[in-house]
Amino acid sequence: MDSIPFPAAEAILFDVLHTLVDDDGFPRYQLREMLAADGHEADLPLFEEVYRDLSSREYDWEAAAEESPFRSIHDRHRSRLTALYRHYGLDRHRDLEHDIAHLWERIGECSLYPEVADVLEAVARRGYRLALISNADEDDPVLRALREADLGVTFEAVVTSQGAGAYKPAPAIFARVLAELACEPERVVMVGDSPSSDILGAGRAGIAAIWVNRTGRDYPARYPAPRREVSDLRGILEFLPGPAPHEG
């Protein structure tokens, strides 16, 4: 194994959700609590099955990257909740827009993984430029939670799927962040948790990737392999000693 696997890197792209920000199972736990408080108890295994099925339809990133017209994350939340209420016969009893607004704000209660602040500061001190690339809306509370954490580092680019009009793994969103950084793909490293959106998308854009595997999953064979795998963000420091001088 080479000691410096990313010798040309000068900028690091970070995914946000499940890489920097822990959603703690949002929103399925909050949904169950909300419905139970209103007298609508659901069988837990069945609820989980229905929720997973609806989520897999709305958040299949490869499919979303090909959709036209583009639909925002907020719209996807609404579509999932509409289908869930219809499944349980609640569509005539719940105020959908009120519930969507409530859940949208609850997302902002997400917290950063405990090592995030220290790792980002260490990466910045080593001279790397930092950027965010996220399948998120421009006003997404997940991004707000990150901004409000007062990390003490500067992100030179923050590119969302809504801002780019495309979801990872589509090439357009990676092209957008490369343009904002004025950086060639070989001088960038992607750090993310999703084989489908982060690793596949980065590979298509010619960007090397580090897979953050917090849960010890097996890597899906159908996707191109990441350059490196880490169990949390602290692991990336082993592979990023500092940028090489930019010649030319």
Regarding the domain delimited by 11-23+111-238, which CATH topology (the fold level of the hierarchy) does it fall under?
Rossmann fold (3.40.50)
The confidence score (pLDDT) of residue 3 equals 63
Per residue, what are the HEC states of the chain?
CCCCCCCCCCEEEECCECCCEECCCCCHHHHHHHHHHCCCCCCHHHHHHHHHHHHHHHCCHHHHHHCCCCCCHHHHHHHHHHHHHHHCCCCCCCCHHHHHHHHHHHHCCCEECCCHHHHHHHHHHCCCEEEEEECCCCCCHHHHHHHHCCCCCCEEEEEEHHHHCCCCCCHHHHHHHHHHHCCCHHHEEEEECCHHHHHHHHHHCCCEEEEECCCCCCCCCCCCCCCEEECCHHHHHHCCCCCCCCCC
Q: pTM score, two decimals?
A: 0.93
Tell me the two tokens of residue 92.
């005539």
The confidence score (pLDDT) of residue 160 equals 98
The confidence score (pLDDT) of residue 246 equals 60
The confidence score (pLDDT) of residue 79 equals 95
The confidence score (pLDDT) of residue 1 equals 46
Each of the 248 residues of the chain gets a pLDDT tens digit; together they read 456 789 999 999 999 999 999 987 777 777 887 777 777 777 778 888 998 999 999 999 999 999 999 999 999 999 999 998 898 888 888 889 988 988 888 888 889 999 999 999 999 999 999 999 999 999 999 998 898 898 999 999 999 999 999 999 999 999 999 999 999 999 999 999 999 999 999 999 999 999 999 999 999 999 999 999 999 999 999 999 988 666 55
